[in-house]
Amino acid sequence: MDCICLAAGLGQRMNHTIPKQFLPLLGKPIIAYSLEALETVPEIDRIIVVYNKDFRQMYEELFDNYNVSKCVLVEGGEMRQDSVWNGLKTVESEKVLLHEASRPFITPDFVQSLFKYAQEKAVVPVIPIPFTVSVGNQYMTAELDRSLLHNVQLPQLFDAKTLRDAHNLARRENYVATEDGILVFRLGEKVRFVTGSENNIKIATPLDLIIAENLLRGIDK
């Protein structure tokens, strides 16, 4: 199976000169945690790392330094959705795992738990939303029932053809989504929710990095 690992973003909210996936998390680049976990999953044959062309040497050096031999580089696009599409164009397997480098706390067991649902067209891990969510701009205009809402995580497992079809539809309609389960849903296919992990946080801001460091210290104890 092929895996696409999204790692082309700059992470501008981190206010740093290098892409956030290379920032150190207790001495190791954020992206290295994901790649090391994916490398040990026997079902994964290739890790298609969608990269930022301005930093190619950093990716290549990281592959060598952390001995991740399954990685191949594919140039990223202008937006996240374009990067997924670039990766999809090189996928050769019937199923594809989609992950993002900014989620370093995945484990091989968690990845393999998704494969139990391989008969589904789309498998998306989620966790409950523990806070109140409302709609509005300057004033509240609607309330949302949080028991029906989900915090969507990656990695996600897809039928590769279905995901390509979903992206093709989005491209024809100039529709942009922030994750790919939505695109499959818009295609009219079922998207299976499965239990995610509270630890599977996404690092997007400096505060997230502090939280991740403390989480990792707790895991290592």
Per-residue pLDDT tens digits for 50-91: 999 999 999 999 999 999 999 999 999 999 999 999 999 999
Mean pLDDT score, 109-118? 97
The pLDDT of 18-38, averaged and rounded, is: 95
Helices 160-173 and 80-88: crossing angle in degrees, nearest 10, is 140
Among the residues of 90-195, which ranges form H helices? 108-114, 160-173, 180-187
CA pair distance 109, 154, nearest whole angstrom: 14
Domains of the chain: residue spans and CATH: 2-220 (3.90.550.10)
Is residue 11 very low, low, confident or very high in pLDDT (cuts 50, 70, 90)?
low
Residue 221: pLDDT band (50, 70, 90) is: low
- Tokens 């028991």 -> residue: 147
d(CA 61, CA 65): 6
Q: How confident is the model at residue 218 (pLDDT cuts 50, 70, 90)?
A: confident
Q: Is the pLDDT of residue 45 over 60?
A: yes
Check pLDDT > 90 for residue 9.
Answer: no
Instruction: Judge contact between 129 and 59, C-beta under 8 A.
Output: no
Mean pLDDT confidence for 181-199 = 97
